[in-house]
Amino acid sequence: MEQKNKVLQTYGIWLLDMICLAISYIIATQIRFGGDRFNQFGNKTLHYMVLVVFLLFCTVYSYFRDWNRDILLRGPFREFIVIVQFDAIIVSVSLVFVFFAQWSYILSRSVIINFAWINVVLMFTVHCLYKRIMHRMLTSDFFVSKVLVVASKDRIDGTIQKLHKDLGPAYQIIGSVSVDNLSGGDFASVTKKLIQIPFDEVFFNTPGLSRKEIGALIAGFEEMGVICHYNVEIPDVGGVHSAVGTYGDYTVITYSMFRISAKKLIIKRLFDILGGLIGVIITGILTLIIGPAIKLDSPGPVFFSQVRVGKNGRRFRIYKFRSMYKDAEERLKDLESRNEVKGLMFKMDNDPRITKVGAFLRRTSLDEFPQFWNVLKGDMSLVGTRPPTEREFEQYDEHYRRRLSMTPGLTGMWQVSGRSNIDDFDEVVRLDLQYIDNWSLTLDLKILLQTVGVVLFGRGAK
């Protein structure tokens, strides 16, 4: 999550800074040469080549200096100071280059002076707006990373305060576990008590635990598919940087079952937004036809909604075209003995709760189209794992929970591998974990293409 936020922050603010430089230079040019003074412009090509130099040095400076790495933690006064420093360095270095390139004869001092102050004002305004937008976006449920702190009792409060200060708005501390309260050193049982709690990462500040004890804790959390950060108390030596990694201001070793490129995850989300928009439009058109058919077939709403469990235990409400009678949830208890799936799923042939129209919708997968709204919102992805019901999730262990370490999908490995023909929940889990461990954009595209074939030919649909 930290990597994904850094990619958004780095490239987003760099692009905005480039736009600010261009706008400021154009405004400064218009102030000096606008109107009747247009003929005093001189060599227009060289004049705007100076802007290219500004943009080039902005890119170089941003890449090597990484001056916006802490932008979300800077206050207004500090923001103004660093922008003035940036502006002064960019203008000074660029003018030195222009002088040695012998372009200085085409420059107007008033253009440079106006450019400097306009860019400071514009960049300061844009940075403040950017931070407000980023803060709102990063604190949304899709971007925020929910963190659990595991520490000794005397360290919990200080650790939480330090993480709040150093991590920024993209992280939410959802709770803590004191290792002092673990009776008999039963560290392996900790994760069993946390399966139902939504969290993405664990931060360990437990220097008093042995390697065996911390190993048992990390193994349990890894099995759940969450990322673990273990604080390594390395002496603070001036000028020496740790090569292990950082989490806030802590030096950590990070454990994770899988590593995924943040840039690829952003591309995946962009495809989800595009697919979600198209799907929502198609759903609106289908509703005009399917809606009346559902109402005529049986009393009740057109859409069915249900709370499902998404990434790392987050709850969200899923939407489908209603394919069952209104009392389907109440009648489920009477049908559990006829379940044809081994494990934590319910499936049966000729389910009496399914309406006539519902049977057609399920056979053609048309009932799934309203879920494009969930994809657009970010609750789901086009491709992912199957989101369980709360009732199913309550029976999960650490191994089963790992299938929720990625955002659930509208389609996935198990949907294109037989769907209703699979009669063992462990097989569904195996396919989901196979998808997670081997995820790539190419795999997503392959599953989407296979899904089209499955839907068109109705293979495995019931």
79-93, 236-250, 410-424: the lowest-pLDDT one: 236-250
CATH code of the domain occupying 145-255: 3.40.50.720
Specify whether the CB–CB gap between 47 and 33 falls below 8 A: no
pLDDT(127) > 90:
yes
Q: Taking residues 277-298, report their average pLDDT.
A: 93
Beta-sheet strands, E only, within 101-183: 145-151, 171-178
Q: Model confidence at 459, in pLDDT bands (50, 70, 90)? A: low
Q: Answer whether 106's CB lies under 8 Å from 46's CB.
A: yes
Are 32 and 113 in contact by the 8 Å Cβ rule? The answer is: no
Identify the bridge partners of residue 205 per DSSP, sorted by sequence position: 151
| Bridge partners, 221 (sequence order) | none
Find residue 317's DSSP bridge partners. 307
Q: Over pLDDT 70: what percentage of the chain?
A: 87
Question: Which helix H or strand E contains 409, and what residues bound it?
Answer: strand 409-411
Closest CA to 367 of 455, 274, 277: 455
Q: Break the chain into its structural domains and give their ranges.
A: 2-138, 145-255, 262-457
Scan for tokens 């980023």, then name that residue. 134
Strands (E), 152-297: 171-178, 201-205, 227-231, 246-247, 250-255
Place of tokens 């001056």: 67
- Cross-strand partners of 177: 150
Contacts for 184 with CB less than 8 Å, ≥ 6 apart: none
- Strand 250-255 versus strand 409-411 pairing type: unpaired
Are β-strands 201-205 and 145-151 bridged in parallel, bridged antiparallel, or unpaired?
parallel
Identify the residue with better confidence: 327 or 445: 445
pLDDT band at 337, cuts 50/70/90? low
Tens of pLDDT, residues 190-200: 888 888 899 99
Helical segments of 239-379, H only: 262-297, 328-335, 356-364, 371-377
- What would the pLDDT profile of 2-13 be if each residue is shown by its tens digit? 555 566 677 788
420's torsion region: left (phi>0), alpha (psi -120 to 50) or beta? alpha
pLDDT per residue as tens digits for the range 149-183: 999 888 999 999 999 888 877 888 999 988 886 65
The token pair that represents 321 in the structure block:
């075209």
Q: Say which range, 70-79, 279-288, 332-341, 438-447, has the weakest mean pLDDT.
A: 332-341
Number of C-alpha atoms within 13 angstroms, CB side, residue 38?
Answer: 3
Average pLDDT over residues 398-411: 90
Alpha-carbon separation of residue 369 from 171, 287, 358 (angstroms): 33, 10, 13
Tokens 């997670």 — which residue? 436
Q: Please state the pTM of the whole predicted model.
A: 0.66
* Ramachandran area for residue 439 (φ above 0: left; ψ -120 to 50: alpha; else beta): beta
Q: pLDDT by residue (tens digit) across 11-57?
A: 788 899 999 999 999 999 888 776 555 555 566 777 788 888 889 88
d(CA 10, CA 70): 10
Residue 353 and residue 448: Cα distance in Å, rounded?
30
- Max alpha carbon distance in the chain (Å)? 89
Report the percentage of the chain scoring pLDDT > 90.
33
Alpha carbon distance 226, 223 (integer Å): 8
- Which candidate, 319, 278, 8, places its Cα nearest to that of 140? 8
Q: HSE (CB half, 13 Å, CA atoms) of 73?
A: 14
pLDDT score, position 85: 92
User: What pairs with residue 319 in β-bridges?
Assistant: 305
DSSP 8-state symbol, 388: P
